[in-house]
A = this chain, B = another copy of it.
Amino acid sequence: MRPLFHPSIEDVTVEAILHALADPVRVAIYADIVAQDCPQNCSNFLTVSDKAVPKSTLSQHFRILREAGLIRSERCGVEMRNISRCTELEQRFPGLIRAIVTAHTIQSADEARARMPAPKRPARRAATK
């Protein structure tokens, strides 16, 4: 097993970050890692957005996030602890990560709304807003 590679922050490229986060599964995983304060292990994500993700695929996804400089992974016993490198990234590319995670949140909310069964409207008279 080759040792885990983490690029130093000045070697991190915009292209690698965007490529890593251009995948719906990876962006969901990453948004979750950013949201949680404590390290997440890989197998927390064996299902993402109610879809099963095979272990091998998951492993690749984590490698791509790691090699793009988005997360830091360290082995801890039998598991892997993954944390985001937000602070470093914020220094290098101010606003980038937050904007992407926010955009992802907006889109997820839209999708959730679109999936809503009956888009019950409030009665006309008592308008919200």
Contacts and interface: CB of A to CB of B under 8 A. Distances in A.
Q: Report, as a range, how many residues of chain A touch the other chain.
A: 20 to 34
A10 interface: yes
A99 B14 CA distance: 10
Copies of this chain, how many? 2
A110 interface: yes
A18 B15 contact: no
Chain A contact residues, majority secondary structure: helix
Interface string A40-52: 0000000000000
Given A18-B18, A93-B99, A99-B99, 6 more contacts: A18-B100, A22-B22, A94-B102, A95-B102, A96-B103, A99-B100
Interface of A: 10, 13-15, 17-19, 21-24, 27, 92-96, 98-100, 102-104, 106-107, 110
